[in-house]
């Protein structure tokens, strides 16, 4: 770790002689004078101890922060070139030692501290960076055991990412050759410490994943390095290496440093080994153990095959004792007979179904023909004409009966006409007058008076008036009969109009008006609903919304 540097002591500042200013100065002259005074009065390098606050990382890469203690604070800036070398992430509340110098920003009239190097106080920068990266990756789930891939137990090709000149690669190759000499080893040389080492390690892992197929299929990758200090092992604590290991499709064994050394690569890898030699031991099995296992498997396989063969022989003997297995043709013949029966039943069922469907279709056609608006209207018009003819017949019969009664009345009245009765009375009176005397004439006169009175009474009750009254009654009865018939016909007309409206609403003419047509066989008038109902040369009639036209079938078409 870097030794802690002394902090800035303001008592050791040498105060230069003040330079006199003109009587009147501009702002620019004043700020320039302040900047010269600070540059002359303060040392070029100051180690400043303080607490970070208001930390901001600008998109340009520069760091802006405030360094403060209990008594004061100062604005500080760390340029992008220095911020890129930081091993840890500054944060508010962190105590640091900032190495740099004081500068005066003339554009804002602001004094600020320019940081060249920044280190955490108490904890080393590398240790703090290790903790910060570990916490970050742990939150992202890179250490989660669910992401660990299993190591193949019997690999064919193993890739080793390490330094080609270190002791780690020799230990790995020697261990692999001793334990499992049939494995093929590919060594990808990289730097394992210093500037650019982390980038080379991450690039090697990514490249092996990309070119695994062309290299014959890599089963396992070993990332290894011998022991060393934290600074020497720092390449395996870099974030690019951790993310390359996490995204690798090939299982990775990490063997970095000694047993006490733990790096970020160890935590992210699918399997951690204490040393490079241990990583090689975990990557492959022991050949002798594999051979012993194979011998045991071979013996077990022989026993299993022998048992399976004996069982198969027993089954074959048992099968040979079954009668129907000796002559399997009988089963086939029985199956064929059952198939024939099922086919016959199926054909019969299909025929019955087709007959029912044809009968139903014929009934539907009859119902449709009966329900055509023209048919219904024709039937209703026939009913109306029948009712009208019955009404006319009833009226004629009623009038004929009235005429007969009137004629009979006239005949009866003809026999008792007043003129005939009076003539007879005068004749009898004349005869009586000739025979009687004057007294008799008086009596005859009195009788004549009575006859006159009777004549007047008879005239008052004349059958002519009765005939007139009877005629009036007959006319009234005829009028009432006409009104009754009209009253009874009115609901019938309304019902007929309602039925006609409903028929018109459901009429196929509405469907024809929307662009559809109806095609009928010209011979029997049956509606054609399928292409197989007509034959080439057959004449059909097509009904449209505004009329009909006849045509001849030239092609039956495809069903």
Closest listed residue to residue 192, CA positions, set 217, 155, 219, 222: 222
Least confident range of 284-293, 354-363, 397-406, 459-468: 459-468
pLDDT of 474: 58
CATH code for the structural domain at 130-285: 3.40.50.261
pLDDT of 252: 92
Contact by Cβ (8 Å): 263, 236: yes
pLDDT of 161: 92
Token pair, residue 547, equals 């009329």
pLDDT of 417: 52
Closest listed residue to residue 234, CA positions, set 263, 205, 261: 263
Higher pLDDT, 210 or 554: 210
User: Within a 10 A sphere around the Cβ of 269, how many other Cβ atoms?
Assistant: 28
Residue 251 pLDDT > 90, yes or no?
yes
Partners of 252 in the β-ladder: 221
Backbone angles phi, psi at 45, to 5 degrees: -130, 125
Which residue has tokens 């410490």? 193
Q: Residues near 64 by Cβ (< 8 Å), separated by ≥ 6? A: 54, 55, 56, 58, 75, 76, 77
Burial class (CB in 10 A: 0-12, 13-18, 19+), 385: exposed
Helix axes 167-179, 276-283, angle to 10 degrees: 30
505 pLDDT band (50/70/90 cuts)? Answer: low
Residue ranges covered by each domain of the chain: 10-122, 130-285, 376-505, 512-552
pLDDT of 167: 83
pLDDT of 253: 92
Name the average pLDDT for the chain: 76
Burial class (CB in 10 A: 0-12, 13-18, 19+), 124: middle
Least confident range of 10-19, 263-272, 273-282, 471-480: 10-19
Domain formed by 10-122, architecture = Beta Barrel (2.40)
Type and span of the H or E element at 362: helix 328-370
pTM above 0.85, yes or no: no
Burial 32-44 (b: 16+ CB within 10 A, else e): eeebeeeeeebee
Burial class (CB in 10 A: 0-12, 13-18, 19+), 434: exposed
Mean of pLDDT values over 26-45:
72
- pLDDT, tens digit, for every residue of 291-332? 888 888 888 898 889 888 888 888 877 776 766 666 666 677
Contact by Cβ (8 Å): 553, 534: yes
pLDDT of 1: 41
């Amino acid at each position: 770790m870097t030794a802690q540097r002394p902090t800035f002591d303001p008592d050791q500042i040498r105060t230069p002689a003040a330079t006199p200013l003109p009587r009147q100065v501009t702002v620019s002259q004043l700020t320039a004078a302040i900047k010269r005074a600070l540059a002359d009065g303060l040392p070029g390098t100051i180690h400043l101890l303080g607490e970070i606050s208001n930390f901001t990382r600008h998109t340009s890469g520069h760091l802006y922060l405030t360094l403060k203690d209990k008594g004061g604070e100062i604005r500080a800036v760390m340029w992008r070139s220095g911020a890129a070398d930081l091993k840890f992430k500054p944060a508010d509340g962190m105590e640091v030692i900032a190495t740099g110098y004081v500068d005066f920003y003339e554009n804002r009239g602001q004094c600020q501290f320019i940081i060249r190097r920044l280190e955490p106080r108490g904890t080393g920068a590398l240790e703090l960076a290790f903790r910060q990266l570990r916490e970050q990756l742990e939150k992202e789930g890179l250490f989660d055991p669910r992401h660990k891939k299993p190591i193949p137990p019997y690999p064919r090709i193993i890739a080793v990412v390490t330094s080609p000149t270190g002791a780690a690669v020799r230990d790995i190759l020697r261990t692999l050759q001793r334990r499992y000499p049939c494995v093929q080893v590919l060594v990808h040389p990289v730097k394992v410490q210093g500037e650019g080492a982390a980038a080379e390690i991450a690039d090697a892992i990514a490249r092996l994943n990309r070119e695994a197929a062309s290299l014959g299929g890599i089963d396992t990758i070993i990332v290894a390095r011998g022991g060393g200090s934290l600074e020497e092992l720092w390449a395996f604590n870099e974030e690019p290496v951790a993310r390359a290991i996490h995204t690798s499709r090939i299982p990775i064994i990490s063997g970095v440093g000694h047993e006490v050394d733990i790096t970020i690569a160890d935590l992210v890898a699918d399997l951690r080994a204490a040393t490079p030699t241990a990583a090689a031991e975990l990557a492959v099995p022991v050949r002798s153990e594999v051979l012993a296992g194979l011998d045991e498997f071979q013996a077990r396989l022989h026993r299993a095959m022998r048992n399976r063969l004996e069982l198969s022989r027993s089954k074959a003997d048992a099968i040979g004792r079954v009668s129907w297995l000796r002559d399997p043709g009988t089963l086939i013949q029985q199956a064929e007979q059952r198939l024939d029966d099922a086919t016959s039943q199926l054909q019969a069922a299909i025929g019955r179904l087709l007959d029912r469907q044809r009968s139903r279709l014929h009934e539907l056609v009859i119902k449709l023909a009966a329900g055509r608006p023209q048919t219904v209207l024709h039937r209703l018009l026939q009913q109306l004409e029948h009712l009208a003819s019955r009404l006319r017949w009833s009226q004629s019969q009623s009038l004929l009966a009235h005429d007969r009664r009137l004629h009979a009345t006239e005949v009866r009245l003809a026999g008792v006409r007043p003129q005939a009765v009076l003539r007879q009375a005068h004749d009898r009176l004349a005869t009586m007058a000739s025979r009687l005397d004057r007294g008799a004439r008086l009596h005859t006169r009195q009788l004549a008076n009575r006859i006159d009175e009777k004549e007047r009474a008879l005239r008052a009750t004349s059958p002519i008036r009765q005939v007139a009254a009877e005629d009036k009654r007959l006319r009234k009865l005829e009028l009432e009969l006409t009104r009754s018939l009209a009253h009874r016909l009115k609901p019938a007309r309304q019902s007929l109009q309602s039925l006609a409206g409903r028929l018109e609403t459901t009429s196929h003419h509405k469907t024809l008006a929307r662009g559809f047509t109806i095609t009928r066989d010209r011979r029997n008038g049956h509606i054609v609903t399928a292409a197989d109902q007509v034959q080439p040369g057959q004449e059909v009639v097509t009904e449209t919304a505004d009329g009909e036209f006849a045509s001849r079938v030239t092609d039956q078409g495809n069903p």
